Structure formats: structure tokens, C-alpha cells
Structure 1
Amino acid sequence: MGPMGTMRFDQETKDRALRLYYEAVAEEGATKIRTRRKIGGMLDINPATLNNWILKAEKEAATSSRAAEQDKDAEIARLRKEVKQLTEANEILRLASAFFAQAELDRKQK
């Protein structure tokens, strides 16, 4: 027990409770509150505590999702810039190749 008689749960217990909760909601289609009560009763966890863990996990997932989206956007911007640079380099090489090919033809005609 922690301060003031509150129980402390290890991360493994929290992870297990969350996994059981999400599986039950997905499979059984029960209401979230009923599922929290059921899982809480199975694991001897107050449903309000389980709800706090669920809210925290959902917030972390949303933050992670936003970060992944920002990373993806940054990668797309970087790749677009690289494509633009490569397209410009190819155009320069194409023009140089045409110039030297024409110079070679002119040299052979003389």
C-alpha cells in the first residue's frame, strides 16, 4: 500500500488490466463502465483507478499518434524537397548532355 492506504500496482498489472479491458470492449461489446467494473472486480482494482489508467493510455496513444503524423509530414516534406533537387539536377545534366552532343556533332561536321 502507498501513502494514505492507497494500493500501488506495478506496470505489468496495469498493462494486463488495460489489455483485458480493450479485449473485452472489442469482443463482448459491453458498455465501458460495465467492462471496467468487471475487469476491476477480476483483478481487485477500483474501477475508477482502471478508468484513470484507460484515460492516461488513450492520451498517450493520441500523443504518440500525433507525433507519428508529424514525423510522417516531415518525411514527406523532406522527400518532396529531395525530388525537386534531383529533378533540377537531372535537368542540368540533360541540358549539359545536349550541349556536349551538339558540340560533338559540330566538331565532326567541320
Structure 2
Amino acid sequence: MKKTNKFSPEVRERAVRMVQEHRDDYPSLWAAIESIAPKIGCVPQTLLEWVKRAETDAGERDGLTTTERERLKALEREVKELRRANDILKTASAFFAQAELDRRLKS
């Protein structure tokens, strides 16, 4: 199931930029997020996730960047498809090997 994004990338970038620009005006990051989130129309936790993602992508925070995460997902999908194809080939191989044995026994 694919999530639908209520907010455009431009709105997300603007919200993150607002948090970064006004971070020093508040006693904590969370206070800044709680103040800015209603102005954007999202819940604070969502804005916090956007800020964390932006910091990770910028190298300011440990973790996988968005590009790395997308690449990992693509590789995991490919591995899953290859394993499925491998299972199909193994099953077909066993089927044809058994058919060949049965044919030789009848002769």
C-alpha cells in the first residue's frame, strides 16, 4: 500500500527551512516545531520527521539518506524477485528431472 502525501515537497522544504531559521528563537527544537507545525497544517511529529530527514540528507545526522534508502528498497525488491525466480527454476528443474526419471523407468 502506497502512502499518499498530503504535502508537496515545496511545502516540506519551506517548513523545514522555517524550523531551521527560527530554531534559535525557541528554547528547544521541539518548541520551534510545535510553534511552526500548526502554521503549515501538520502535526508536530510529522514536521519533526521532515527535519530529521533533511538533517540526515545534509549529513548533519547519522543514518541513511533519502537516496540511499531508495536504493536499498530497490535492491531489496530485486533480491525478492530473484529469489522467487530461483524458486520457480528449482521447482521446474525438479519436475523435469522427475519426468526424465519416470520416462527412463518405463522404457
**Which protein is richer in helix relative to its size?**
1
Structure showing greater Rg: 1
